[in-house]
Structure 1
């Protein structure tokens, strides 16, 4: 089980003095845009932690993201050490999770800001009906018709601008593991196939179906379901979304799965996998704000592996997985945990 995606909240206006202090953390970003809406919060495995030096990548860094606002708040209160830690998060490109309320507006806001900055948007679509089997990130569209309308609105919002889309974390896995009721299986596959096809009508969109993580199960369990979900029309798949498996484990898992689905490439969520998964307690709780974790490899397309399209921060570090270990609701900012992740980075 993995932790879920995250919600975006109302804008935070930075005082001029604080904004000037933040400029080093925002290098490479332009066009601060209002944060899009979103829901829930997930987890992710990977490699070693990043340094604070800027890493040029083609994805947009949101200058008004949760981490950037937390940096500003710490600076305003004179907590420079805390601010320095959180810059390790705020200076990196992270996915924007598109919420249910304003899909077209949110997708347009993010992609236009990325386009003005000369970069590409990284989006997560997470609104499938009967989402997360009633757990921490329960919710989603009320029915199939509403979901189709929502996906169509997102696609219209993207327009002709560049975007990489990670489609519906856990949606396929929860069919395979039986978490999603059997009566919803056929509809879910139909909705995922249609979503891939609708998004691919946009000229500059790359779509990756979520495909679990190295600790979830065997790759062969997912090959058939991914085909049912439209992997042939997708550009590839995503692994380790909101989970903590190392980059090495995730690469091996992804390569095995790729061989079963026509050699499709994949992306790896490295946002919180710097120390790998938590193994010291109940495995059932290993995904929810586990202690002692660290930021993973900074986002990059230079992975050294032709099958690995990118290392990405799909789960936004610092956003809670759920109400566990003192954390707030899924998707809410968890400052102490964010600082722990940044402090553990190597």
Structure 2
């Protein structure tokens, strides 16, 4: 009987064995992968390994995670800043100022400019054009202009002009001031005759520009020829553009003592004819004019015992005619007399000025025949300007007499210290310690803010710079009662005692 071997029994595959084999395979595959990551290419020199993979998807993911650095684009070139902008004229309040830039002087071709004006280094809002009109409030401050140069495809460049000081619009500033060398008032002939110390003292008066008064003692027929000769003689010495200084004192044909009697019709006509003749003689000469010293006598007097003017409206109407006529001349600057800080309040003098034609004139004058300080008259003048502004009359300037206020004092101080003495002929100073006495003040000048010895506050200096055209000598302390005749002794005393020369 054949023998048949019994078949070998098949080993039973159990689920747990399958799972175990799967785990072993997974571990083996993972180990190989780790070996490939940790030792790519068999690095043995300590260099940082770099993972490598032949899987394109894996490679792409790696590139996104760590992008390779790129070189930044270079910045565009900057506009070449060439010649700086320039201010074509001296900065003056009220006058158009023009800035220019020369494009061909080093600037990138095709450049275009944006402008910005600055005052004291700070931007002026809205001032972005090539022109600027400085205001009175800017006087004394520095102005400059900044330009931004642009060219398409370039970075812009900035350039700024030099800063320059803004000056007041002052017709008295600049040029030569004529010095009267004729016989009137006696001071120049006395200087020519003098010698030694006296000559030096008299020169302090005689060689200064002074206001010469033209009054009613010149007839209507003579005022024209006299003025023409007066102007021509000074222009012959100082030039055609020299500043000539005069005062017109014609409102009182019978003198101030006769103001209680009204002017007749013929006297009114004579006033207008006289003014016409004087205006024709002045013509196009450069003139500073103080119009009608003692105009304030038309106001209500401060004291009940003073003689009142009989016809102030008539007289002020005549002065208004003169203000309009003289102010119409091309180079005549008219200043109506407006009293002094110690004489007439602002409510009294402002209506007088308005009735006398202040609207036509450059402004007003302070200090004639009085001795108040420059500081007090600056403050007084500013109050007048404020009152005129409130009445719609703006833009006015003023001048201050400094011929006789070297040691300033008021009418009340004089009355207290010298009872019964003549205020118009105040005693002259004899020594440096004298007070309440008459002596020369600051010499005539348009440098109103820079004079030492005036003790001005910062505010007063600013106000002076903006609103005071000049310190003039229209008082005459070298004359008896500041009118006539010439006094050699007074002249020497006020010249010797002045603290300003």
Question: So what's the TM-score if we normalise by structure 1?
Answer: 0.74
C-alpha distance 93-182 of structure 1, shift in aligned 2 (>3 A) = closer
Which sits farther off after the overlay, 158-167 or 108-117? Answer: 108-117
Structure 2 match to 1:310: 470
Structure 2 match to 1:133: 256
Among candidates 308, 315, 321, match of residue 481 of structure 2: 321
Question: Is 2:183 the partner of 1:60?
Answer: no
1:217 alignment partner, SS class: coil
In 2, the alpha carbon distance for the partners of 1:283 and 1:201 equals 44
Structure 2 match to 1:111: 231
Structure 1 match to 2:490: 337
In 2, the alpha carbon distance for the partners of 1:307 and 1:187 equals 30
Question: Is 2:233 the partner of 1:233?
Answer: no
Is the contact made by 1:57 and 1:300 (CA closer than 8 Å) also made in structure 2?
A: no
Question: Is 2:403 the partner of 1:243?
Answer: no
Is the contact made by 1:289 and 1:337 (CA closer than 8 Å) also made in structure 2?
A: no
Structure 1 match to 2:124: none
In 2, the alpha carbon distance for the partners of 1:82 and 1:234 equals 40
Among candidates 393, 396, 402, match of residue 270 of structure 1: 402
Question: Is 2:441 the partner of 1:296?
Answer: yes
The offset of 1:220, in angstroms, is 2.2
Is the contact made by 2:300 and 2:308 (CA closer than 8 Å) also made in structure 1?
A: no
Q: Write out per-residue CA displacement over residues 116-158 of structure 1, whole angstroms, 9 at most, x where no aligned residue.
A: 31311101000113565318xxxx9971111111111110110
Quote the RMSD (CA, aligned, Å).
2.4
1:97 alignment partner, SS class: strand
In 1, the alpha carbon distance for the partners of 2:368 and 2:175 equals 19
2:336 alignment partner, SS class: strand
C-alpha distance 131-196 of structure 1, shift in aligned 2 (>3 A) = farther
Is the contact made by 1:320 and 1:334 (CA closer than 8 Å) also made in structure 2?
A: yes
The offset of 1:284, in angstroms, is 6.4
Q: Write out per-residue CA displacement over residues 230-276 of structure 1, whole angstroms, 9 at most, x where no aligned residue.
A: 10111100000121111111111111111112341100000010011
Structure 1 match to 2:199: 83
Q: Using CA pairs below 8 Å that are at least 6 residues apart, which structure has the higher relative contact order?
A: 1
Q: Write out per-residue CA displacement over residues 23-79 of structure 1, whole angstroms, 9 at most, x where no aligned residue.
A: xxxxxxxxxxxxxxxxxxxxxxxxxxxxxxxxx97321012352221112223xxxx
In 1, the alpha carbon distance for the partners of 2:340 and 2:481 equals 16
Among candidates 192, 195, 208, match of residue 92 of structure 1: 208
Structure 2 match to 1:32: none
1:87-236 correspondence runs (5 A)? 87-99=203-215, 100-101=218-219, 102-116=222-236, 117-118=238-239, 119-129=242-252, 133-134=256-257, 143-177=267-301, 179=306, 181-236=308-363
Which sits farther off after the overlay, 201-210 or 312-321? Answer: 312-321
Question: Is 2:216 the partner of 1:71?
Answer: no
In 2, the alpha carbon distance for the partners of 1:334 and 1:271 equals 15
In 2, the alpha carbon distance for the partners of 1:283 and 1:150 equals 38
In 2, the alpha carbon distance for the partners of 1:218 and 1:276 equals 19
Among candidates 423, 431, 455, match of residue 286 of structure 1: 423
Is the contact made by 1:231 and 1:261 (CA closer than 8 Å) also made in structure 2?
A: no
Any stretches of 5+ residues in structure 2 without a counterpart?
1-173, 430-437, 450-463
Is the contact made by 2:223 and 2:277 (CA closer than 8 Å) also made in structure 1?
A: yes
- For these two proteins, the number of residue pairs brought into alignment is 277
Q: Which of the pair has more CA radius of gyration?
A: 2
Which sits farther off after the overlay, 265-274 or 82-91? Answer: 82-91
Is the contact made by 1:299 and 1:313 (CA closer than 8 Å) also made in structure 2?
A: yes
Larger strand share, 1 or 2: 2
Question: So what's the TM-score if we normalise by structure 2?
Answer: 0.52
The offset of 1:334, in angstroms, is 0.8
Structure 2 match to 1:4: none
Structure 2 match to 1:253: 380
C-alpha distance 268-58 of structure 1, shift in aligned 2 (>3 A) = farther
2:471 alignment partner, SS class: strand
1:172 alignment partner, SS class: helix
In 2, the alpha carbon distance for the partners of 1:145 and 1:93 equals 33
Q: Write out per-residue CA displacement over residues 84-134 of structure 1, whole angstroms, 9 at most, x where no aligned residue.
A: 111110110001111423211222122223333131110100011356531
